[in-house]
Amino acid sequence: MTAAELDARLDQLEKDGFLLIPQALSPAETKEVRQRVNRAREQGWQEGLNEVGNMWFDRLLVQDPETFRPLVAHPGVRPYLDALLGPQLQLRSFRAHINPGPYLQEWHMDFYGYWQQPKRRFSVRGVAVNTTFYLQDNGPKDGHLKFVKGGHLSEPPGLDRSKFHGYHSNEFRDWCEAQEHVVVHPMAGDCVLFFSHIPHQGAKLREDMERSNVVCHFQGNPFYEGIWFVSRPIGYEGTFPLAS
Ligand SMILES: O=C(O)CCC(=O)C(=O)O
């Protein structure tokens, strides 16, 4: 990819809020990661299975670093991450998912607190991006990832933390459902890079489909503890994959 092509892709990211990166992982890597995510489940390493059908794993970098560490700023996505944030890119958290049964994710933002960041004379608006690696084909009859069209560009209504109880509908989620959507069908080995504050929703269209993914959350600068984000930070040491 030339510098001009990369620039054009990042312009696309800014416009759409997401980028589909086909075949970020090789077929062999995809198979290996898929098997190791399944093995993690066999080991009982999951943190839980929520009521929309998402089983999640937060400690795989410690439990199986050989398999999972290479996904952090993997070469298939590294040029994009480098051009976005370079050495300042920090891994905030690392989470794998399996959807063992029916799955329709609640509309959500990973970085709910994006629009409510404290504004001071020298504070800058923090930004976070996900690289989500898909481990099976999410074809039109299988599954998808949906975005609110342009949902990263303005503040959605209803972002009041006290209105978020579990996975039930609320003003924000009803608003997301009523908007225009963009539907993406990532295939095995594809990565979707997107702003952590764009509202999104994953789904399985076939209950018997095996579906799993691995998400790296990156942030451009550390956030204070307690900022509204879907996952907790893993700490500081060794979290800057592009700083040499
Ligand atoms: O495709 C999915 O299941 C959604 C993934 C997701 O929520 C994420 O990557 O943050």
Domain residue spans in the chain?
A: 3-118+128-219
Average pLDDT score over residue span 187-199: 98
Q: Does the pLDDT at position 110 exceed 90? A: yes
Average pLDDT score over residue span 1-22: 97
Q: In degrees, to the nearest 5, what angle opens at C-alpha 10 toward C-alphas 146 and 223? A: 75
Strands in 212-219's sheet, in edge-to-edge order, are 18-21, 191-195, 128-134, 212-219, 90-98, 55-57, 48-49
The finding on whether 105 has its CB within 6 A of some atom of ligand 1 is yes
CA 168 to chain centre: 21
Per DSSP, the chain holds a count of helices (H) and strands (E) of 6, 10
Q: Which residues contact 195 (CB under 8 A, 6 or more apart)?
A: 13, 17, 18, 111, 127, 128, 129, 130, 152
Q: Does the pLDDT at position 116 exceed 90? A: yes
User: Can you give the pLDDT at residue 23?
Assistant: 98
CA 199, CA 201: separation in Å to the nearest integer? 7
Average pLDDT score over residue span 50-77: 98
Strands 181-184 and 48-49: unpaired
Topology of domain 3-118+128-219 in CATH is: Jelly Rolls (2.60.120)
Percent of the chain, pLDDT > 90? 96
User: Can you give the pLDDT at residue 79?
Assistant: 98
Ligand 1 centre to CA of 122 (Å) is 33
What is the average pLDDT score of the chain? 97
Query: How sure is the predictor about 244, in pLDDT bands with cuts at 50, 70 and 90?
Result: confident
User: What's the burial of 98, exposed, middle or buried (CB within 10 Å: 0-12/13-18/19+)?
Assistant: buried
Average pLDDT score over residue span 108-123: 95
Among protein residues, the one with the nearest Cα to ligand 1's atom 1 is 202
Query: With contact defined as beta carbons under 8 Å apart, do 12 and 189 qualify?
Result: no
Q: Which of 243, 195, 244, 189 is nearest to 219 (CA)?
A: 195
| Neighbour tally for 20: CB within 10 Å | 18
Average pLDDT score over residue span 177-188: 98
CA 238, CA 90: separation in Å to the nearest integer? 9
End-to-end CA distance of the chain: 23
Among protein residues, the one with the nearest Cα to ligand 1's atom 9 is 132
Average pLDDT score over residue span 88-93: 97
Average pLDDT score over residue span 121-141: 96
Ligand 1 centre to CA of 14 (Å) is 19
Query: How sure is the predictor about 221, in pLDDT bands with cuts at 50, 70 and 90?
Result: confident
User: What's the CA dihedral at 81, 53, 99, 228 to 10 degrees?
Assistant: 20
User: Can you give the pLDDT at residue 93?
Assistant: 98
Query: With contact defined as beta carbons under 8 Å apart, do 188 and 134 qualify?
Result: yes
